[in-house]
Amino acid sequence: MEDLKNIDEVCVPIGGGGLIAGIALVFKSIKPDVKIIGVESAAYPTMKKSIQEDKITKLKWIHNCRWNFH
């Protein structure tokens, strides 16, 4: 926890918002002036679109992925 006091910025994936909310809560409680930066994939810019349109938006499509685990 002592090392966290030396951090000025934290980059966190936005996703559904839960992860960034929890990380922001922890870091801001330790160092209130830390900058929390939300990031998202260019392929799924939902947050960017929501900010631009000033409303919550949803993806109209999602690429299907297949994971092959052996």
Can you give the pLDDT at residue 53? 94
Q: How far apart are CA 9 and CA 23, in angstroms?
A: 12
Element spanning 18, H or E? helix 18-30
Can you give the pLDDT at residue 13? 94
Can you give the pLDDT at residue 58? 81
Can you give the pLDDT at residue 28? 94
Q: How far apart are CA 20 and CA 39, in angstroms?
A: 10
Domain ranges of the chain: 2-53
pLDDT mean by block of 10 residues, the chain; 70 residues: 83 89 93 94 86 87 59
Can you give the pLDDT at residue 54? 96
